[in-house]
Amino acid sequence: QVQLVESGGGLVQAGGSLRLSCAASGRPSSGYTMGWFRQAPGKEREFVAASRWSGSTTYYADSVKGRFTISRDNAKNTVYLQMNSLKPEDTAVYYCAADPYLLYSGIYHEGSYDYWGQGTQVTVSS
């Protein structure tokens, strides 16, 4: 069993930056694909970014490419999401997710991930 705990959310003005962290415990996160999803009020949860265990292969939603960066420190069992040039439409609850056996076809789909954090709120004011 893997436990994921997100932190780093908050209120920021448009154009600002935040860094989210997701700490994994229970089993080593190395070997796991780690992802970030978000859910805005009244909307479905959507894919944001993901990283293979090596950290060298990453994936991004088109809406965040060039603004967000996912990275991971396997020694600390932690994955990060650096969010720059934030926009009001980035406002959402951000969730960390993990899975040990994720194929490429499942990277972008929330149903493919076995483990989830409780979420952290990000609010971007205009």
d(CA 52, CA 33): 5
d(CA 79, CA 51): 9
Structure confidence by residue, pLDDT tens digits, 41-86: 999 999 999 999 887 899 999 999 999 999 999 889 899 999 999 9
Residue 38: the pLDDT is: 98
Structure tokens at 110: 């929330």
Mean of the pLDDT values across residues 90-99?
Answer: 97
- Among candidate residues 117, 81, 123, the one with its CA nearest the CA of residue 6: 117
DSSP class per residue in 62-75: TTTTTTEEEEEETT
Mean of the pLDDT values across residues 81-102?
Answer: 96
Contact at 8 Å (CB) between 125 and 88? yes
Structure confidence by residue, pLDDT tens digits, 1-36: 889 999 999 999 999 999 999 999 886 656 789 999
